[in-house]
């Protein structure tokens, strides 16, 4: 349902959320998320351009979140790298469907709209929260798609 680019962007943002307040290099993020470093660099550039992360050059530089994870939604991340597509006109170009989508394409677009709402209602904070504690930054060991792992903390 989402592109590989979108999946990689979500992984990168989750990694940055796990390390909130720290700068992470492209290579650190690539290693943690199992995303090719060259491809990740393009994704991080798009996320920076859309104001979701900041980049800092230099020996202590890297990437970090621009905003608190409670203010960044999954939809924001997808919009930055591969905006979800909606059906606004008949994909077949049929004259009869110029004004109104046929029942099939209307149902499909309704489903896309529901997914879009879910993405708009889901924050980065929510997808990095530990299940037993609910919301809040992840602590302890947590593994998700892409091999992301948070080191145990006291």
Q: Do residues 101 and 90 lie in contact, with contact meaning Cβ atoms separated by under 8 Å?
A: yes
What global pTM score does this model have? 0.80
Domains identified in the chain and CATH numbers: 4-84+123-149 (1.10.10.10)
pLDDT in tens for each of the 154 residues of the chain?
A: 789 999 999 999 999 998 988 999 999 999 999 999 999 999 999 999 999 999 998 888 899 999 999 999 999 999 999 998 888 887 777 777 777 888 888 899 999 999 999 999 999 999 887 554 444 444 444 455 444 555 544 4
DSSP-assigned states of every residue in 10-63 = HHHHHHHHHTTTS-B-HHHHHHHHT--HHHHHHHHHHHHHTTSEEEE-STT-EE
């Amino acid at each position: 349902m989402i592109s590989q680019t979108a999946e990689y962007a979500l992984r990168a943002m989750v990694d940055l959320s796990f390390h909130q307040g720290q700068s992470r290099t492209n290579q650190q993020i690539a290693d943690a998320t199992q995303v090719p470093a060259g491809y990740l660099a393009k994704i991080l550039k798009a996320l920076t351009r859309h104001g979701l992360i900041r980049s800092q050059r230099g020996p202590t530089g890297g990437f970090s979140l621009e905003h608190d994870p409670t203010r960044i939604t999954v939809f924001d991340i997808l919009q930055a790298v591969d905006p979800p597509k909606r059906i606004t006109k008949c994909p077949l170009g049929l004259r009869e469907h110029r004004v109104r989508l046929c029942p099939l394409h209307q149902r499909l677009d309704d489903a896309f709209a529901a997914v879009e709402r879910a993405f708009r209602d889901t924050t980065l904070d929510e997808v990095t929260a530990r299940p037993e504690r609910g919301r809040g930054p992840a602590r302890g060991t947590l593994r998700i798609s892409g091999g992301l792992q948070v080191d145990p903390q006291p």
